[in-house]
Structures are given as structure tokens and as C-alpha cells.
Structure 1
Amino acid sequence: MAAPAPRFLDLADPAFDVTASAVHDARDESWYAETPYGWAVLRYEEGTALLKDRRFQQGNAKWPDQNGIHDGPWREWWQQTLLSIEGDDHLRLRRLLGPAFRMKTIEAMRPRFQALANELIDGFAGRGEVEFVSEFAEPYSSRILCMLLGLPDDEWPQVAHWADDLGKSFGINVRADLPRIEAALEGLSGYIEQVIADRQAQPQDDLVSTLIAAHEGSDALSRHELSVALVFLAFAGMETTRNQLGLALQTFLAHPDQWALLAEQPELGGRAVEEVMRVAPTVTWVTREAIEDVDLHGLRIPAGGIVQVLSHSIGTDERAMAEHAPFDIRIDDRPLHSGFGGGVHHCLGHFVARTDMAVALPLLAKRMPDVEADGPGEWLPVSGNTGPVRFPLRFTPE
């Protein structure tokens, strides 16, 4: 008897939900499905193997064309980001940018992250209610970004506004959002250019000055590469952490026993981050492009073919997770999630995101132990990059 035809998952539809039962049903039938872009990998074993497969490259360079955007400043900039560059140029940029994101450097900032989280919680703890995105997730992620880049703390709202609009680059409505995206790109690029000029004139102990030093070394970043990299780091670092914090709260609301455990054992903050990113990642898929004709478990993918590894689907695949509870922050030997990508394109700033969320979540659990949703809120499509736009919460005031 012939195997059933693979299901079609319309990832490009804003109403499509990558966490829905239709995806799980497709995963039960096959390790892959077809999509408007090519194919989606649904199971853990095949997904993690593909992310390490040298017959594939990142594939994000095709994202503008897939959305009908064939020219313009955003497309030109997108092609030059770390997401799109491949081969020796990609490795060279990672080598020059990497030292600014060492674990030791980020760990030293942990007390500052903790102080910031408590400061923000102080602002609403007495009210017993909070709009979580605007009052915590966005200022927390944005002000940490300002710390890293050495930007004035009071400039975070403008940086956050640009980053929010530029973050729509990762959404499935990118073509409709293009005017806002390009306006944000122009604003943030001009701002970063001024920051670079200021640090060249007067270096400080911050990430920008560190990267300028790399720019002035023998194997140097060009001024343009430095600007492109900093703009990308600025928006990607803010937008993804903000979204992931909101998704973390949503996940813990469904598991109040785990929220209570996190409040009692704050040392579980790191595991909590990994577990949340396994079951509720803001990056709902990780793209790869075949660089040659590939036969993958009987599926022929031609050179140039696009494959998306669905992060939630592989992270909740019972074939890999069967011996564990569905969500448990005590487990320290979970199979690795794909929330930070994989292979040579593994997220450069993952230490920052892991550390700042591991600091924030236990503090929130301790100070809002009985938190619950105060209405449905407003959410981005659950395809592309996802997360809350508005997320009202209520709890017993301190």
C-alpha cells in the first residue's frame, strides 16, 4: 500500500498556527509536510540532523524574494546580515563579533540584569496588575540592549520603537509591513552610525567599542559591516527576548505548579528558559536551503529548495521526549531545542538571551506567585516569529 501523500501546511497564512493539532497530526503521519515555501520538518530526529547537515545553508537570503520584495533598502540590508551571509565571510564575521558575547562577559552583567528586573517589577507590584509587554518585557529587553551597546538608558523607547518595526522582518506579513520596516531601518541605521562615530572619538567599556577595536584590527570588520551587524544585533536582540518572555509567562500560566517551583528554587531559571524555548519558541521555524540536490530519507530536495524545521513541532515530538513530562523545569537532560537555530548559524547572542531570561523569570515568579491572565491580550500570528503584542496580567498586590 502506498504511503499517504504528505500534508500541506500553509505557513504563509496569518491565521495558521504552527502549534495546532493539524501540525501534530501531520507529524504522526510523516516526518515532513509541504508548505508554500518548500517543505517543513516535523520530527526531532530529522530536524536536528538537518540543522547540522552541511548539504544545507541558512536559506534566509531568499526571504525577501519569497515575499515578492525584489529590490529596495531593506532587501539590500537583509542580504548583508549574519542571517544571510554564508561560507568564509560568515565565519569571519562570527569570529570578529563573537568575543563581545562571551559567557564570562555576559555573566558579569547578571547583577545589573537583576537590579533592572526588580526596578521594573517595583513599578507595578503594588497595583496587582500589569500590561506585561509594555511594562516589563519590552523595557527589560531594550534596556539590557542599551547596557550592552553603551547607549543612554533614557533612549531605550526610541530604540525599542525602531526594533519593534524592524522586527516585522521576521513576520509573515513582511510585504504589507515594508514601509514601516524600511522607515525603522533608516532611523536605526542613522542612530547606530552616530554611535559608532562617537565611540571612535571616545571609546567606552561597551560592546560597540569592543567591535570597533575588532574593526581596526588586522582582520578587520569594515565600517559598513560593523554598521550592518550592530543594527541587526540591536533589533534581533530586543525583539526576540521580548517575545520569548511573553511566551514564557503564557506557558507558566498553564503550569502553575512549575511557576511555584521556580519561585521556590530560582536556581532553576536556566532550565526554565530551555524548557520554555522547547515548547513555546518565538522563532517558530528555522530555515535551511539545499546547496546541492539532496535525498533526505527518500524525499528529493533540489538544489535551492527551502526547508523549514518547525521548532515547536520537533521540540514536542514524543519520539524524543516520551520519557519526560510535557513541561518540567527540573529536567536537565532534555534533547536540545532549536530556538537558537543550529549548526554554524547558531544564534550569536544566545548567552545574552539565556542569562537575562534566567534572571527575570524567577524574580517574576517570586513577586507574582498567583499571576493570571486578565483577558486574551493581543498576539502576533503563530507562524514566523511570534509572541504577545499586549498581555494584561493580574495578581495579588505586594
Structure 2
Amino acid sequence: MSSLTLGPVPAFDVTDPAFSITSEDVHRAREQSWYATTPYGIAVLRYEHVNRLIKHPKLRQGSVAWPAHNGITEGPFAEWFASWILNKEGEEHHRLRRLLNPAFSPKLIGSLVPRFQALALELIENFAEPDRCEFVGEFAEPYAARVIAIMLGLPESEWKVIATESATVGLAMGVTLREDLPKIEAALQRLYAFCDDLIADRRARPQDDFVTALVNASRPDDGRLSDTELRDAIVLLIFGGFDTTRNQLGLAMQTFMAHPDQWRLLAQRPELGGNAVEEVMRVNPTVRWVTREVLEDFEYEGLALAAGTTVHLYSEAAGTDPRVFEPGFDITAERRPHFGFGGGAHHCLGHFVARSDMSEALPLLATRLIDPHELPGASWLPDSGNTGPIRLPIGFTPNP
């Protein structure tokens, strides 16, 4: 049976690991209907509908149901997943956001930009061979993990712990969650121990850093973060910050290799680094869908939506919708906002970190890797949920 059936209302079998959420079939389905049916609920395919539904008052953040969709209703992973600020609603969500926000201040993150630049250059200069690299292992993974170490005030030598455990926890965002659960929960326990030690150290020896800001976070009306909230928040930062940045950098290289003129332009105009991140995330986001859940029965565009229905908002399909965007990839263009960081009340808390570290890395890569091209041996996560390359061998002409 095909993983996609086109009709008046298309049907997608997104549980099939071979299903591609960014395929031409999905784009054709977008022309037939603003939504498709899936085993999880409905998939929304057009920009204006995604833009309305991502903020709709009768929808709540929906990823809280992801473990249950995969038959997981108890245990360490289910408990941690339910603890995410992303999966909290109402006043509880707002309280956590108010307490966590100061640690993500542009001033604190901005002060780290020179470290991000030095790190990117160090990794490029240390490629094992002068004219090729395995981009994930030699750049994206150590860069994303060491950025987290810098933020947390950890020795950068700890990056392999961050990378290994985060990559394993990241399997939970894919359609193979159930079979991967034992190793996901083992990695989660190791991250818990790692974070408990880190929190205890900052309580004993405060520093002018991100973790100390979280440990000391308090507001007269909101109290403080509990020990469990602190630990869960830092584990989420480690996992989320690593997984999405590593994946998104790999997807950026995939996109630029398909548009070599834009890569050359970025090398000539490094100030376009921020624009480049936004354009890549519009056409090739690692977060392939944003999830919502229907709170109460209502009708939308003639479709009856029952309470409890999962609504997946397809970020790439929305970001490339020809009703809103001219075809193509252009890092100089002014575009409407993409949905790579979600939207509404649950807009990604760490978006400024991701935007900062990637906008520094991409121009430095562009100036030093001339005419990059994919070599044989690439492998990829399934094209659903969160995706990206597992291995991405790249050849290039080095720029001395």
C-alpha cells in the first residue's frame, strides 16, 4: 500500500518511515486540499491555514499526545515529555516562561557570539582532510554540542556526552519512538544525573552564566523553579538545542549545495547570515510539523474537528506554499514569517540561541568551503517529525 493517496481529501500514511513530508506528492496534495488525513489526525498544508490554526484559541499545544500516539503512557520518558514547558498550558505555561525567559536574554547570548565564531573556525581548520569532510561528525555535531557546553559553562571537552545522549533522546521525535524507547530512557537517566551535578555545582559556586541564572530565577508572583522544573528545563535545553541545531546545519548544507549561487553570495556578503538561517528554515526546516490538539468541537473551513483531534501543521509545505511565496531560494528576499520555531504562545524559547549560533556558522563555512558538493555515503533520519542527516560527506575546494 502506498504511503500517500491523492483524492479530494488526500490521505498520508505518516507512520511509514519511507513517507516523505517534503515530497512532490505532498506538494501536489496541497494543491488539491488545504488538509490531508493521517493516522495521527489531520495534516494542514497551506500557509494561511497554518498561520491561523497555530494561534487558534480552540487548539492547544498538541505534542503532549505524541507518546500516547505511540502507545507510551507511563514511565520516565512519558513523565519527562509531559514536563516540557512546550507541553504546559495556561498559567502554568506562563509562569515557567516568565521564570525561564531572562536566561535566554539577547544580551547574555550576544556576549557569546565571539566564542561561536572562534569555535566554527577551529572546527573548519581541523577537518581531517583538506578538501572533504563528513559534515555531521566533523562540524554540525561538535558545533551544536560545544555551543551548549559554552552556554552551560561546562568544559567543551564534555561535548561528546552532550552529543551522544542528546542524539539518542532525539530518536523520540521520530516515528520509530516505540522501538527506540529503552535506549531513549537510558540516555535520559544519564542526562538527569549530568544536570543534577551541574545544578548542585552552581548552587555551591555561582557564576555569571546561563545555569546560575536559571538556578536563581525567581519572581515575587511566580516563586522559584522547583528542583524538578530546573532539571527538566536544562535537559530540554541540552536535547533541544543540540538536536535542532545539528539537524538544521546539515539541512542548510543540503539546501545550499542545491543553490550554489546563494552559497557564493553568502561568502561575499556574510552579513546575510541571519537572512540565510530564515530562508533555510522556510524551505528545509528540521521541525517538519508543529503539533496542536483540538480542545473542543468546532468547525473550520467546513471541516468538523472533534475535541482531542491532533492537528499537524506542516511547516515546509506552508513555507513553500506558492499562494504566498515565489518559487525558489533567495537569502536576500524579505519573506513572511516561517514556522520553523513554531508560533503563538508556544513559540520556541531558545530561538535566539539557534538563530545566533547558526547565523555565525554559515557565513564562515561559505567563505572557506568553495563549491561544496555531496559525496557518496550520506544517510538521513526519516523525513517526518524532526529530521536531518545522520552522515553527510561533502567535497569542496578549500579557501586558504
Please tell me the TM-score bracket, short chain as reference: over 0.9
Question: How far is the alpha carbon of 1:126 from its aligned partner?
Answer: 5.7
Match of residue 302, structure 1, among 302, 306, 315: 306
The secondary structure found in structure 2 opposite 1:396 is strand
Q: What are the residue-to-residue correspondences of 1:82-121 with 2, within 5 Å?
A: 82-121=85-124
123-132 vs 196-205, which moves further: 123-132
Match of residue 296, structure 2, among 286, 292, 297: 292
Residue 254 of structure 2 corresponds to residue 243 of structure 1: no
Kindly indicate whether the alpha-carbon contact (under 8 Å) linking 2:174 and 2:385 is maintained by their aligned counterparts in 1: yes
Q: State the distance in 1 between where 2:370 and 2:52 align.
A: 39
Matched to 2:196, the amino acid is: E
Q: Which residue number in structure 2 is paired with residue 345 of structure 1?
A: 346
Q: Which residue number in structure 1 is paired with residue 4 of structure 2?
A: none
Question: How far is the alpha carbon of 1:104 from its aligned partner?
Answer: 2.2
Q: State the distance in 2 between where 1:225 and 1:130 align.
A: 39
Residue 142 of structure 2 corresponds to residue 139 of structure 1: yes
Question: How far is the alpha carbon of 1:220 from its aligned partner?
Answer: 1.0
Match of residue 320, structure 1, among 320, 324, 342: 324
Q: What are the residue-to-residue correspondences of 1:37-116 with 2, within 5 Å?
A: 37-116=40-119
Ranges in structure 2 where 5+ consecutive residues have no aligned partner? 1-6
Q: Which residue number in structure 2 is paired with residue 354 of structure 1?
A: 355
Q: State the distance in 1 between where 2:98 and 2:340 align.
A: 22
1:17-40 per-residue CA deviation (whole Å, 9 max, x = no partner) reads 001111111100110000111100
Question: How far is the alpha carbon of 1:248 from its aligned partner?
Answer: 0.2
Q: Which residue number in structure 2 is paired with residue 204 of structure 1?
A: 207
Q: State the distance in 2 between where 1:115 and 1:5 align.
A: 53
Q: Which residue number in structure 1 is paired with residue 17 of structure 2?
A: 14
Q: State the distance in 2 between where 1:216 and 1:130 align.
A: 48
1:57-100 per-residue CA deviation (whole Å, 9 max, x = no partner) reads 10111111100112111011111111211111111111100111
1:352-392 per-residue CA deviation (whole Å, 9 max, x = no partner) reads 00011100001101000211111140100001110000000
The secondary structure found in structure 2 opposite 1:389 is strand
Q: Which residue number in structure 2 is paired with residue 369 of structure 1?
A: 370
Matched to 1:275, the amino acid is: E
Q: State the distance in 1 between where 2:48 and 2:363 align.
A: 32
Q: Which residue number in structure 2 is paired with residue 330 of structure 1?
A: 332
Q: State the distance in 1 between where 2:213 and 2:345 align.
A: 23
1:132-151 per-residue CA deviation (whole Å, 9 max, x = no partner) reads 00110011010000111111
Q: State the distance in 1 between where 2:102 and 2:395 align.
A: 41
Q: State the distance in 2 between where 1:145 and 1:94 align.
A: 20
Q: State the distance in 2 between where 1:68 and 1:166 align.
A: 17
Matched to 2:310, the amino acid is: I
Question: How far is the alpha carbon of 1:206 from its aligned partner?
Answer: 1.3
Task: Detail structure 1 runs of 4+ shifted over 2 Å in the superposition.
Answer: 215-218
Please, what is the CA RMSD of the aligned residues? 1.2
216-225 vs 93-102, which moves further: 216-225
Matched to 1:171, the amino acid is: G
Matched to 1:330, the amino acid is: T
Matched to 2:369, the amino acid is: M
Residue 277 of structure 2 corresponds to residue 276 of structure 1: no
Kindly indicate whether the alpha-carbon contact (under 8 Å) linking 2:373 and 2:396 is maintained by their aligned counterparts in 1: yes
Question: How far is the alpha carbon of 1:5 from its aligned partner?
Answer: 3.4
Q: State the distance in 2 between where 1:394 and 1:125 align.
A: 12
Q: State the distance in 2 between where 1:24 and 1:90 align.
A: 35
Q: State the distance in 1 between where 2:189 and 2:181 align.
A: 12
Ranges in structure 1 where 5+ consecutive residues have no aligned partner? none
Question: How far is the alpha carbon of 1:105 from its aligned partner?
Answer: 1.9
The secondary structure found in structure 1 opposite 2:293 is strand
Q: What are the residue-to-residue correspondences of 1:18-29 with 2, within 5 Å?
A: 18-29=21-32
Kindly indicate whether the alpha-carbon contact (under 8 Å) linking 1:215 and 1:226 is maintained by their aligned counterparts in 2: no
Q: Which residue number in structure 2 is paired with residue 391 of structure 1?
A: 392
Match of residue 230, structure 2, among 226, 248, 273: 226
Q: State the distance in 1 between where 2:40 and 2:120 align.
A: 40
Q: What are the residue-to-residue correspondences of 1:116-127 with 2, within 5 Å?
A: 116-124=119-127, 127=130
**Could you tell me the percent identity over the aligned residues?**
54
Provide closer, same or farther for how the CA distance between residues 316 and 216 of structure 1 changes in structure 2, counting only shifts above 3 A.
closer
Question: How far is the alpha carbon of 1:252 from its aligned partner?
Answer: 0.3
Q: Which residue number in structure 2 is paired with residue 34 of structure 1?
A: 37
Q: State the distance in 1 between where 2:11 and 2:117 align.
A: 45
TM-score of the pair, normalised by structure 2: 0.96
Matched to 2:354, the amino acid is: A
The secondary structure found in structure 1 opposite 2:73 is coil
